[in-house]
Amino acid sequence: MYETGCKCKEQTRFLKVEADFCADSIWCNNCQSNLDLSRLALSNKLKRELSEWALEFGKWLKLDTDELVSNAKELEDAHNVMGAILCEKVKEELGNSYMVFFTPSSLVRSYSQKLL
């Protein structure tokens, strides 16, 4: 196991940027472990941006009633646009040794389906 939290036998080259409740925003795309953002070779500025972005995740969901807010789609879309931008920044900072993918949030879609 690596200090980043990845559980792969060999250090992964595959990462993904994905926001989730109470998690850092970078994951191993191979073993799906949530990685310790502080241990990744990223600038403090980008780490801060990623953390702030992750904290915004799910703002379109009312956790107490488990309902979407009225402009949930807009909020989620904006969050996904920002996530894609941050993913590009992560790629830039980590360089060619990593493949970084972005997984957009689909909370709105899954909640809409649940209501049908």
Q: Could you say whether residue 105 binds Zn ion (CB under 5 A)?
A: no
| Binding segment (CB under 5 A) for Zn ion, from list 3-11, 47-55, 74-82, 90-98 | 3-11
Q: Which helix (H) or strand (E) holds 78?
A: helix 72-94
| Binding segment (CB under 5 A) for Zn ion, from list 2-10, 17-25, 71-79, 80-88 | 2-10
What would the two tokens of residue 33 be? 């472990």
Q: Could you say whether residue 108 binds Zn ion (CB under 5 A)?
A: no
Tell me which residue has its CB nearest to Zn ion: 28
* List 12, 37, 90, 100, residue binding Zn ion (CB under 5 A): 12
| 23-28 long-range Cβ contacts below 8 angstroms, 24+ apart | 23/54, 24/50, 24/51, 24/54, 25/50, 25/51, 25/53, 25/54, 25/83, 25/86, 26/50, 26/90, 28/4
Site of tokens 């992750």? 54
Residues that bind Zn ion (rule: CB under 5 A) add up to a total of 6
Q: Could you say whether residue 30 binds Zn ion (CB under 5 A)?
A: yes
What are the residues binding Zn ion (CB under 5 A)?
Answer: 6, 8, 12, 28, 30-31
